[in-house]
Amino acid sequence: MNHPSVSYPREAGTPVSHLPFSPAVRVGDLIMVSGQASVDATGQIVQDTFDAEVRRSFENLRKVLETAGSDLAHVVQTRNYVRDPTNVARFNEIYREFFTAPYPARTTITHCLPEILHFEVECVAVPKVGSGD
C-alpha cells in the first residue's frame, strides 16, 4: 500500500512559534498551514491595528506557503479567526487584497482569540506546478 509522503517544510526566516506545532505539513499534494498571526520571524506577537495585524498574518501565510512550494493563488481553503465581529466587514475588504475570484472555500469564526490578537488565519493549499514532492 502506497502512503503519501509527509514533509515539514521550513526555511530560515519562516515565521515560527514557541508552541508545539509545525508551520506547515505537506502530505502528498496537500499543504496544511497552521494558524498564522501577527508575529515576527522569531514568533513574537506584534500588536498593531486590526488592518496591520491582518496584513502581517497574510504575509506570514505567504512566506510559509512559499517555503512549502505553494503560494496564495494555490490556496483551496482558509479558516479565519476574527476576535471582534465588528471587524468582519473590514476583514472582507482586506481579504480581497490577497485573494481573488474564484475565492478559496472559507470559514470565518469570531469571538475566539485572546485579547493580544485581532486575527489569525490557517489554510489548505496545493503545490505550484513543478514544485516537486
Query: What pLDDT was estimated at residue 132?
Result: 55
pTM score = 0.91
Could you tell me the residue ranges of all domains in the chain? 6-125
Mean pLDDT of 38-57: 94
Amino acid symbol at 70? S
pLDDT number for residue 15: 74
The pLDDT tens digits for 110-122 are: 999 999 999 999 9
Q: What is the pLDDT of residues 61-105, one digit of tens each?
A: 999 999 999 999 999 999 999 999 999 999 999 999 999 999 999
pLDDT value of residue 131: 61
H/E element, 80: strand 75-82
Q: Is 53 helix (H, G, I), strand (E, B) or coil?
A: helix
Q: List the CATH code of the domain at 6-125.
A: 3.30.1330.40
Q: Which residues of 77-93 are buried (b: 16+ CB within 10 A; e: fewer)?
A: ebbbbbbeeebeeebee
What's the pLDDT tens digit per position in 17-35?
777 888 999 999 999 999 9
